[in-house]
Amino acid sequence: MTEPITVPTPQQIIEPAISGRTETMVLNMGPHHPSTHGVLRLVLELDGEVVVNLAPDVGYLHTGIEKTMESKTYQKAVVLTDRMDYLAPLSNNLCYALAVEKLLEVEIPERAQIARVLLTELQRISSHLVWLGTHALDLAAMSVFLYAFREREQILDIFELVSGARMMTSYFRIGGLAYDLPADFLPTVEQFLAIMPSRIDEYEDLLTANPLWLERTVGVGVIDAQAAIALGLTGANLRATGVAYDVRKAMPYSGYETYSFEIPIGKNGDIYDRYRVRIAEMRQSVKIAQQAAERLRELGPGPVVTPNRKVAPPPKREITESMESLIHHFKLWTEGFKPPRGDAYVSIESPRGILGCYVVSDGSPKPWRVHFRAPSFINLQSLAHMAKGRLVADLVALIASLDPVLGEVDR
């Protein structure tokens, strides 16, 4: 490392300008700006068109999710996690559910595990499709957006089939799934997975060898592996620098160790490599989802919530017959379950990077503290490092390639 990595604050850029620095200009970008993907505000220090320094100013979507979760029971708090990274609600559900399940030490039935893997992989594809569409839109390729959203709607239809909601599904609950998969789930998924690879080819036809796309992305926004790790960059952004670190392989959860897939990596750590890595990831996700669908078909029907009655309610018909089940149901609905005292940290590979969840339990039915390691929030720190010395137009491509979701940045 030649010079130390710094992450400036907006004040550090604005104040010299107010006190009379005239060589460079300060430009405010956002929070209302079409290419900041939400309500991100950037304070740029410009020398002509060249970015000398920049500081992201976040918090315009601060929702107080962590505080609100402390006032809900464990199971009710699942709903709040959905709205964090709103492009991948199921990944958030999964991360939170895994953390609480780690505290509780409950066993999840096989069918629920496979469904979780299948649905999070579909979620990854749908999230990457939004990234692809908006990234291309920012670089003035309108048609990719329309193609990407066509496939995304198909995935949302699957989610709607499963849970009744298109986006905010809250489908993964602590102890398993909210309810069983519907009968026509597998045929719909298999139909989608059969066409998806050819659709990814379509996007690649539009972009991968497109000279305009190459000019805007190759060699732009470069970061090396060492700086990326120091700045906590994760996900496809880290893998584009050549570091093959994926939580699904490194510390497998939900049975990912039993699926065969590869971790696509890049070489140069530029925007084009991130694009290639994410496209390859979509193909890998299709592959994982296909394996999961096969397993679901082989496994046949079965339970989707844990048999532990202290965590998951008994089936409805049991309540009318058994007094004990009625009591369990009553306890769960009036009070909720009580994990033992302690804390647990779990991380998963969300579409944006390492999503971590730290839960502290004080033995009461409500979490004492829930903290999310939000990948978008931490990835944003590296923006200044990558954008220095580049043009403002490159910055637009750079923000899109980092794929931040502001709901997750601000929580």
Partner 1 sequence: MDNQTVLAALRDTVGREIRAVSEFRGDLSVTLTPAGYLAAAQFLRDDPELAYVFLENLCGVDYLGRKPRFEVVAHLTSLRHRHRVCLKVGCDEPDPTVPSLTPLFPTANYQERETFDLLGIKFAGHPSLTRILLPDDWVGHPLRKDHPLGDEEVAFTFNQERIYARKPFARE
Partner 2 sequence: MGIEEKAGNLGIVTTTLETVVNWGRTNAMWPLLFGLACCAIEMMGAQASNYDLSRFGMELNRASPRQADLMIVAGRVSRKMAPVVRRLYDQMPEPKWVIAMGDCAACGGIFNNYAIVQGVDEVVPVDVYVAGCPPRPEALIDGIMMLHQKVMREKISGKKEAPIRLDQPLVQVK
Q: Per rule CB under 8 A, is residue 245 in the interface with partner 2?
A: no
Q: Per rule CB under 8 A, is residue 140 in the interface with partner 2?
A: no
Length of the chain: 411
- Give yes or no for a contact between 146 and 72, defined as CB atoms under 8 angstroms apart: no
CA distance 269 to 222: 5
CA distance 174 to 165: 19
Q: Provide the minimum distance between the beta carbon of 10 and partner 2 in the complex, in angstroms, as a whole number.
A: 13
CA distance 271 to 171: 34
Q: Provide the minimum distance between the beta carbon of 263 and partner 2 in the complex, in angstroms, as a whole number.
A: 27
Q: Per rule CB under 8 A, is residue 243 in the interface with partner 1?
A: yes
373 bridge partner residues:
356
Q: Would strands 172-173 and 353-361 be described as parallel, antiparallel, or unpaired?
A: unpaired
- DSSP assignment of 284-341: HHHHHHHHHHHHHHHH-S---B-S-TTTSPPPHHHHTT-HHHHHHHHHHHHT---PPS
Q: Of these partners, partner 2, partner 1, none, which one is at the site of residue 168 (CB under 5 to 8 Å by kind)?
A: partner 2
Q: Per rule CB under 8 A, is residue 145 in the interface with partner 2?
A: yes
41 bridge partner residues:
57
- Give yes or no for a contact between 49 and 392, defined as CB atoms under 8 angstroms apart: yes
Helix H segments across 141-184? 142-163
Q: Site mask, partner 1, residues 316-355, x = CB under 8 A?
A: --------------------------xxxx-x------x-
The span of 61-69, 74-82, 90-98, 278-286 binding partner 1 (CB under 8 A) equals 61-69
Q: Per rule CB under 8 A, is residue 28 in the interface with partner 1?
A: no
**Site for partner 1 (CB under 8 A): how many residues?**
46
CA distance 350 to 148: 19
Q: Per rule CB under 8 A, is residue 34 in the interface with partner 2?
A: yes
- Give yes or no for a contact between 292 and 114, defined as CB atoms under 8 angstroms apart: yes
- Give yes or no for a contact between 273 and 208, defined as CB atoms under 8 angstroms apart: no
Q: Of these partners, partner 2, partner 1, none, which one is at the site of residue 86 (CB under 5 to 8 Å by kind)?
A: partner 2
Q: Which is nearer to partner 1, 29 or 370 (CB)?
A: 370
The span of 37-45, 99-107, 264-272, 284-292 binding partner 1 (CB under 8 A) equals 99-107
Q: Provide the minimum distance between the beta carbon of 168 and partner 2 in the complex, in angstroms, as a whole number.
A: 6
Q: Site mask, partner 1, residues 102-141, x = CB under 8 A?
A: xx-x------------------------------------
3-state percent helix, strand, coil for the chain, nearest multiple of 5: 50, 10, 35
Where in 53-112 is the site for partner 2 (CB under 8 A)? 59-65, 67-68, 79-80, 83, 86-87
Q: Site mask, partner 1, residues 279-318, x = CB under 8 A?
A: ----------------------------------------
Q: List residues binding partner 1 (CB under 8 A).
A: 4-9, 11-12, 58-59, 62, 64, 66-68, 71, 102-103, 105, 229-232, 243, 245, 250-251, 342-345, 347, 354, 356, 358, 360, 368-369, 371, 373, 377-378, 380-381, 410-411
